Amino acid sequence: MASLPTIAILISGSGSNLQALIDATQSGKLRANIVVVGSNRKAAYGLERANKAGIPTRTFSLKQFKDQGKTRVDFDIYVAKTIQEEYKPDLVVLAGFMHILSPEFLSFFPQNNVMNLHPALPGQFDGAHAIERAYDAFKKGDIQHTGVMVHKVIADVDRGQVILQRNIPIEKDDTLEDLEKRIHSVEHEIIVEGAQKFLDELTASE
């Protein structure tokens, strides 16, 4: 039997999307092994989730690099090199990784096998605070709905090739918290489906 493809996951926070991926690999819904969870914040609760699931973890401190007089690009190269050389993942998933990746990071993954989850539709609300910005736009009457996508990562933020996307309604009585909950529940599904689709396409192209 062929071994399962491998995934490295990068996080910065509580890791609820990471948990969705862990649960999916354990249930067999996502046919892959998570080989490492990395974080740029050592207090990220997602690291606890990984430890509970028996998945190796790594932390990477940008501050440490800057304190040594090194640059953000030096940091990116170190993170990418560590992930690629030590774990050789078939897919790298950014699951709430709050750090914009440089072209130098991406150069370590020439197969373009880095995937990101973003709580907006393609071309809308790129970058940070996408949910709040969509909510404000809805209140002004500029949009009727928002969405979630998973996409390949390129140097332009949130502009890579879309793997999957889904529209999400905004109701007129919604609070921001209502919209956040609705989006997060869809994120937990689409990150799993997107990872599987990405791996299926990878296998098909070999």
Which residues, 6 or more positions from 47, have their beta carbon under 8 angstroms from its beta carbon?
A: 11, 15, 37, 39, 57, 59
118 is catalytic: yes
Tokens 């606890």 locate to 48
Backbone phi, psi, residue 6, to 5°: -115, 150
Q: Considering the candidates 118, 129, 145, 188, report the single residue annotated as catalytic.
A: 118
Dihedral sign for Cα 95, 154, 69, 56, please: positive
Whether the Cβ atoms of residue 151 and residue 190 lie closer than 8 Å to each other: no
Known catalytic residues are: 118
